[in-house]
Amino acid sequence: MPSRLQIDYASITDNEVTCQVEFSAEVDGDEHEFAVRYNVLKELSGDEPENDALELFERFSDEIIDVCAEALARRPGATVVVVDEHDLE
């Protein structure tokens, strides 16, 4: 597994159109783009992310970092690593 992700918190955006939280992160000195689907936030929190997706993202950031690192390891060549509920398993 890659080293721990370092999220660029200034890059975090809530894309309500595509129902995902998008951000950049550094892993082993390389910058990667990530998108965490709302269904991941729902699975982690038990609540539908309606107007609080960024709050849920922040609350569960430790778990999200781990899931994103694992998803990046499985899809190292992806332009944007999209994380959905299947990555939680």
Q: What is the pLDDT of residues 37-58, one digit of tens each?
A: 999 999 999 989 988 999 999 9
Segment 21-33 shows an average pLDDT of 95
CA 24 to chain centre: 9
**Domain range annotation of the chain:** 6-88
Topology of the domain covering 6-88: Double Stranded RNA Binding Domain (3.30.160)
pLDDT at site 4: 82
Percent pLDDT > 70 in the chain is 97
User: What does pTM read for this prediction?
Assistant: 0.92
- Report the phi/psi class of residue 19: left, alpha or beta, with left for phi > 0 and alpha for psi in -120 to 50: left
pLDDT at site 1: 46
Q: How far apart are CA 72 and CA 35, in angstroms?
A: 11
Can you name the residues that pair with 22 across neighbouring β-strands? 13, 35
Work out the pLDDT band at 3, boundaries 50, 70, 90: low
